[in-house]
Structure 1
Amino acid sequence: MTTTSTSSAAPTGTGIPATMRAAVMFGPGDMRVVDKAVPAPLADEVLVKVAMCGMCGTDLKIYDGHFPQTPPYGEYTPGHEWTGTVVACGESVDELAPGDRVCIEAHHGCGRCDNCLRGLYTACLNYGNRKKGHRASGMTADGGFAEYAIHHVSSLYKMPENVSFKDAVLITTAGTGLYGLEATGGYVAGLDVVIFGPGPVGLMTVQACKQLGARRVILVGTRASRLEMGAHLGADHVINTRETDAVQAIKDLTGDGADLVIETSGSTATPQQCVETVRRGGKILFVAFYPGPVTFDLSAVVRNDVTMYTTRGEGGNNVKRAVALAEMGRLKGEELVTHEFPLERIEEALRVMREREGDPLKVVITF
């Protein structure tokens, strides 16, 4: 890994250094840990000393150069699942204070477009336009693979004392599942729910569905260790598609099919399985990103009067709900953190996640 220095800035506050260590993208597959100026918060921003930043599939896309609207190479720091301690606040911020532990939602909408005014800030019409106020931490703006990070005050949440930093890196992930559930109606009590994909989003959604009163939660995947974790976290049934015909197994369990099917895996083959396992008049929720176009039987969806939903990210103020559920002990994140790396080994961390070395579930960078 190459070590580079960039220009420094004056300290942003008492005890805050002028420079920090940060991962910076210099091109596809070229991430370097460098010295970078510690940013100073604007009036409505907060400077946080990062404790931990999680990794997900989006970070691999960013690393490979396949994610849109990222800042220019040579200055851009990724990382959108971070948590830490407030060290400085902008002059208009009174909701938080230095010493507060916080977690984040990555997206902050512009606050001025039609979608933001409707609360759809993860679908901001000015997405990526910093001049109009939009920022997505670690995606369209610098994120948390650095010793310090800045974010808008409205996208930070004070953490309860009983919620750990390891829990907190999964809070944004939990917000993704909760936002999707809200979009489908938010009422799953007594319903049969199928979740494809036992990754972090799927596992946090398993917990959310059980806490919201789902009758049966059926988790489907290919990796035994993740399915075992799903059962531990509350899934009533787990199905390993390498061993079992998932479609038939779900029909055997539910009779007419599931009331709600949630696709979190990102596999291009899974949407068709969703169509084949949802009951007539049921719902399908898609929250995953896919590596390419997806083909499935849309005519069957229409014939069976199935409603399809998509949501992006952790919108609808659902991170706040996730924080509350974590405080009550109803969402567990820490158990999903399987691998920790220091910042200087970030490329190794990305490799471990990509190659699934050591069966990682959630890989994090720690400071």
Structure 2
Amino acid sequence: MVAEHVATDPRPANDLPETMRAAVMFGPGDIRVVDKPVPRPGPGEVLVKVSVCGMCGTDLKIYDGHFPGTPPYGTYTPGHEWAGTVVEVGETVDEVETGDRVCIEAHHGCGRCENCMAGQYTACLNYGDVAKGHKASGMTVDGGFAEYAIHHVAALSKMPDNVSDLDAVLITTAGTGLFGIDMIGGYLLGKDVVIFGPGPVGLMTVQAAKQLGARRVILVGTRASRLAKGKDLGADHVIDANETDPVAEIRRLTGEGADVVIESSGNVRTPQQCVESVRRGGTILVVAFYPEPVTIDLAAVVRQGVQLHTTRGEGGNNVRRALALAEMGRLRGEELVTHEFPLEDIAEALRVVRERDGDPLKAVIRL
């Protein structure tokens, strides 16, 4: 009876409206807030009333038309860091129910390729193939810059009462750092860790590294306000690369170089600095995207026996691990939110993020 009702009843359930306000891409640099039909969840899917959706560098690439695999212009709603309240569930869903507060991880793999079967769903071999089950919210399918959004239940997590909606935006971000740490072995106890880039990913990774027992966490950046926030969040040392040679300072602090160097800045010069900052036999982890190809001394990486790893997104169930840390009070997210905008002002929010107007750390859309 449930399947028949979902398939044939044209009216939204639970007194939901028929239409919603949503940001839609109409072309590069052209985003407009328009009316769209409220989507309906299919089997395994959940409809969420979005409360907040974060904005990051990927959204700028999407806005500029430089992100692969997005849906057609005129229909597509971006936004991949969102949280809200469940208002309807699709057939077979019993993991969450109406009224639950949830946050997401953006990637839901197809569940059928070799990578997904090995748990590597952010590297799904069917990336972008909705017909085979892959969905990346706000990237390959509609996302959270809208009053309502749909996501697969497997990529949703119920939020504890003491984790706020604004915390949740940074929980997704924290999952990126934790996934990278997970993929390099997850064992930071007693190690010296350098993090390049005090943006949201870097600042959440500072906290995660300390919670995982790092001996010293050294944060490198170019903006004093962000470095100060990193110090407040637990970094043992901060280095302003505008004032100090970061490689020389890291070597001074660590002696032989850092055990682990994490690159989250996206600056094309920084990967080579990572090579020069890591100790012999150490590990470099790259979680950033770059606007152009980068150059590193790969021969030095090989000579020094350095392990070089990359990870994409927030895989490996690490959003749920981040959520557990936040519930215990060991990850602070909400205080990284510096700017809030209503949905109708999304173009202005994108401008502020691009131009760094008012030194935004994390901008969010409130719905």
The 2-side partners of 1:145 and 1:364 are apart by: 10
The aligned residue for residue 274 of structure 2 is 274
CA contact (8 A) 2:14 2:87 kept: no
Give 1:10 deviation, angstroms.
Answer: 4.4
The 1-side partners of 2:13 and 2:319 are apart by: 29
Are 1:35 and 2:31 counterparts? no
The code of the aligned residue for 1:356 comes to R
3-state DSSP class of the match of 1:358? coil
The code of the aligned residue for 2:61 comes to K
The aligned residue for residue 167 of structure 1 is 167
CA contact (8 A) 2:218 2:237 kept: yes
The code of the aligned residue for 1:79 comes to G
Deviations 1:238-285 (A, max 9, x none): 000001111110000000000000000000000000000000000000
* TM-score (ref. length: structure 1): 0.97
The 2-side partners of 1:29 and 1:258 are apart by: 41
The 1-side partners of 2:14 and 2:158 are apart by: 22
The aligned residue for residue 212 of structure 1 is 212
3-state DSSP class of the match of 2:60? helix
Are 1:95 and 2:95 counterparts? yes
The aligned residue for residue 82 of structure 1 is 82
The 2-side partners of 1:10 and 1:287 are apart by: 44
- Count of matched residue positions in the alignment of Structure 1 and Structure 2: 359
Give 1:43 deviation, angstroms.
Answer: 1.4
The aligned residue for residue 3 of structure 1 is none
CA contact (8 A) 2:219 2:235 kept: yes
The aligned residue for residue 311 of structure 1 is 311
Give 1:135-284 correspondences, 5 Å limit: 135-284=135-284
Give 1:91 deviation, angstroms.
Answer: 1.8
CA contact (8 A) 1:193 1:218 kept: yes
**Identity fraction in percent:** 75
The code of the aligned residue for 1:249 comes to E
* TM-score (ref. length: structure 2): 0.97
Deviations 1:83-134 (A, max 9, x none): 0000000121000001000000000000000000000000000000000000
The aligned residue for residue 104 of structure 2 is 104
The 1-side partners of 2:117 and 2:345 are apart by: 41
The code of the aligned residue for 2:174 comes to A
Unaligned runs of 5+ in 1: 1-8
Are 1:114 and 2:114 counterparts? yes
The code of the aligned residue for 2:87 comes to V
The aligned residue for residue 45 of structure 2 is 45
3-state DSSP class of the match of 1:169? helix
The aligned residue for residue 25 of structure 2 is 25
Unaligned runs of 5+ in 2: 1-8
The 2-side partners of 1:329 and 1:351 are apart by: 33
3-state DSSP class of the match of 2:17? coil
Deviations 1:187-234 (A, max 9, x none): 000000000000000000000000000000000000000000000000
CA contact (8 A) 1:10 1:18 kept: no
Give 1:11 deviation, angstroms.
Answer: 3.8
Moved >6 Å (runs of 4+): none
The 2-side partners of 1:196 and 1:110 are apart by: 33
CA contact (8 A) 2:109 2:124 kept: yes
The code of the aligned residue for 1:114 comes to E
The aligned residue for residue 124 of structure 2 is 124
Give 1:14 deviation, angstroms.
Answer: 1.7
The 2-side partners of 1:186 and 1:246 are apart by: 25
